Structure 1
Amino acid sequence: MSAIELLYRNIRDTSTKNVLVLNAQAHPLLNDICKEAASCLLQQSFKPSCNALSSSGLRWVTTISTDQHFDLILIHPAKNRQQTLSWMAYAMQRLVDDGKIVMACANNHGAKGYETALKNLAGTTTSSSKSKCRIFSAIKSAAFSSELAVQWLGNGKPQGVASHGLISRPGLFSWDRADPGSQLLLSQLPELSGSGMDLCSGYGLLSERILHSSERVNAIHLVEAEQLALDCAAENCEAWSAKVSLHWLDAAAEPLPGNMDWVVCNPPFHTGQERDIELGRKIIINGCRALKPGGEIYLVANRKLPYESVLQSNLKKIQTLIEAEGFKIIRGVR
């Protein structure tokens, strides 16, 4: 049994409750919860997860803009601890008195640490274990530490990062530093021109650097699955807003902007906590198809990832420009 199934399966008697689900994940049990609850608000900002919720007939929001308070709040932890702690703090603030927060997490993804954090925040918790997962809950009472909640909320907000001077936030890929792969990719790029795409753009590190150094770029399309990353990218590229288009897309499954002169890409190879090489392959195929004839793709990947065969099947020519620091930079021409 997965953590998300454990979370949803152990919710009872929601018929008179206002329910909030943070980092909501599609599951038939979630449909049951939403049908039974007096009201049910689902928060999700990752496009593939949003698409899955929509396909199951559920409505969602990327951010919560209501002052509503809730009787019950469910949380599925993120990969990033600071992001999850900020959700926990937000949840405790939004609970009515005697309202309940419930979380579930796989043991090897930090369940015990999150339970301890919730206890520090709420004062006391109850918990149980099943299928290598842990489910734990707390009631909002006078023991709630509002000071700790304010601290955790502040830590999870968008913030300037000294190492690269851009706006980022916990939970985004390499949020607090320029990742070595992207730095190596930037070192191998020529001066670009025309219209291009930053595929899996994150908070806009590659785009901001390209726009700063390549004046002949007249349009750049940032494609990203995480809306919170696109929000940061919009700020980071604000000086070139006339050239920038933002696209909130699942790059592995949804159509991309086309007729590109060039594409730069640092593709993910994980789905949640799990390694997923096929995800990168699908994104690369879509990236290649977005090029005009003669267009170029510049790709960074871990040296051991087998992307060359995908590129060879979709392009006229590929070459490895450099291998260093555990990464490789590949250039391809359609």
Structure 2
Amino acid sequence: MSIRLDLARDSGLTLSDALSVLLPTPAQDLSDLPRTTELVQPFKPFHDHFAAQGFSSVDASDAPCGDVILFVPRAKAQARALVHHACQRASGKIVVDGVKTDGIDSLLKEVRKRVPVEGPISKAHGKIFWFAADADAFSDWALSDMTLAGGYRTVPGVFSSDGIDPASELLIAAMPDRPGARIADLGAGWGYLSSRLLEREGVHSIDLVEADHVALDCARHNISDPRARFHWADALNWAAPEPLDTVVMNPPFHTSRAADPALGRGFIAAAARSLAPSGQLWMVANRHLPYEAALEAHFTRFEELGGDARFKIFNATRPRRRAGAS
């Protein structure tokens, strides 16, 4: 169990059997909760982690429930929206747990201005507090869509929600006018790269692979072209339906605040597995991240093409996936 949640229960917090938990991650040990607990986690690897433990894990839920536990996300607008949504669903208590670096202190101050709060309990660089669900107290915190230049839809909490990512803009500008017939966009986000590629010549299909269900829903809204196919999947183990001509990607490099280049290396390996022998990878990455060795391990040839002081662009060809790379 989460250490702060344990302390809260020791301090008198009681939870109903009709419990919904929002945005748990593998960092939270929920093994003491009944398996009837509904876990809401739109990030596919974390969703699968808890489903494998026997929980009812869903990507989203509007179903009524007794109590809600919310693990606070980093994006402030997303956290507020989840508090509002939890209050619409719950008939009992809303329990909010988070770390200081994700804004739990400021969220606590804001909630206290609107409803009476129990707790809070501080432990392990974070806080937990709870309050009675109030369907009206947070009505102005409801989730609202954002429309970026070009008419793209995003929502708070998805990657690059407040503007087109400059690295993706650099990548699309570097790619050829005919990028390939069968393309996959690994870590497609809300669909910027795929939408731009569909404007180019010779594209027969694009597979958008995205682990964040919320971002993928945005992509579905942003791209109505029938050549686009949408996959809620972890790019690290997604299997292409057929060998691809091109993989394009702006891979993530963290699942928390700490940089983890292993994610990008895993994306490179996945691209090599998915490509036809004559296929190619187009990739943009932060300049400081060391992906060259992974590119050399999984492709016969690669080169850096342009970029700027912040980002570098790679084109890699002749994948080695048949040679046992993974």
Partner of 2:24: 24
Partner of 1:177: 163
CA gap 1:190/1:87 in 2 versus in 1, 3 angstroms: same
Cα displacement (A) at 1:198:
0.7
CA gap 1:293/1:104 in 2 versus in 1, 3 angstroms: same
Cα distance between partner residues in 1 of 2:29 and 2:57? 16
Cα distance between partner residues in 2 of 1:264 and 1:230? 16
Cα distance between partner residues in 2 of 1:325 and 1:120? 44
Answering whether residue 88 of structure 2 is matched by residue 111 of structure 1, we say no
Cα distance between partner residues in 2 of 1:83 and 1:139? 20
Cα displacement (A) at 1:157:
3.4
Cα distance between partner residues in 2 of 1:134 and 1:16? 21
Cα displacement (A) at 1:40:
2.3
Partner of 2:89: 94
Match 2:75 to one of 76, 80, 83:
80
Amino acid at match of 2:273: R
Amino acid at match of 2:166: P
Match 1:122 to one of 106, 115, 127:
115
CA gap 1:109/1:186 in 2 versus in 1, 3 angstroms: same
Q: Map 1:176-325; keep pairs closer than 5 Å.
A: 176-191=162-177, 192-212=179-199, 214-238=200-224, 240-241=225-226, 243-325=227-309
* Per-residue Cα deviation, 1:11-50 (whole angstroms, up to 9, x for no partner): 4675754211111334785232225xxx522111100101
* Per-residue Cα deviation, 1:217-251 (whole angstroms, up to 9, x for no partner): 0010001001111111111111x12x111111111
Aligned-partner SS, 1:299:
strand
CA gap 1:279/1:29 in 2 versus in 1, 3 angstroms: closer
TM-score by length of 2: 0.90
Cα distance between partner residues in 1 of 2:141 and 2:118? 18
Q: Is the 8 A contact 1:300 1:329 kept in 2?
A: yes
Identity %: 31
Between 1:216-225 and 1:124-133, the stretch displaced more is: 124-133
Partner of 2:33: 33
Q: How many residues are treated as equivalent by the alignment? A: 315
Cα distance between partner residues in 2 of 1:28 and 1:171? 20
Aligned-partner SS, 2:304:
strand
Quote the RMSD (CA, aligned, Å): 2.1
Cα distance between partner residues in 1 of 2:176 and 2:114? 50
Q: Is the 8 A contact 1:31 1:58 kept in 2?
A: no
Q: Is the 8 A contact 2:269 2:298 kept in 1?
A: yes
Amino acid at match of 2:43: F
Unaligned runs of 5+ in 2: 319-326
Larger helix share, 1 or 2: 1
CA gap 1:261/1:57 in 2 versus in 1, 3 angstroms: same
TM-score by length of 1: 0.88
Amino acid at match of 2:278: G
Q: Is the 8 A contact 1:319 1:331 kept in 2?
A: yes
Match 1:160 to one of 122, 134, 147:
147
Cα distance between partner residues in 1 of 2:241 and 2:5? 38
Amino acid at match of 1:6: R
Partner of 2:8: 10
Q: Find runs of 4+ consecutive structure 1 residues off by over 4 angstroms.
A: 12-16, 26-29
CA gap 1:104/1:319 in 2 versus in 1, 3 angstroms: same
Cα distance between partner residues in 1 of 2:6 and 2:195? 41
Q: Is the 8 A contact 1:121 1:145 kept in 2?
A: no
Cα displacement (A) at 1:170:
0.7
Q: Is the 8 A contact 2:236 2:266 kept in 1?
A: yes
Cα distance between partner residues in 2 of 1:129 and 1:28? 16
Cα displacement (A) at 1:278:
0.8
Aligned-partner SS, 2:138:
helix
Amino acid at match of 1:149: F
Q: Is the 8 A contact 1:256 1:286 kept in 2?
A: no
Unaligned runs of 5+ in 1: none
Q: Is the 8 A contact 1:8 1:29 kept in 2?
A: no
Cα distance between partner residues in 1 of 2:59 and 2:7? 24
Amino acid at match of 2:139: V
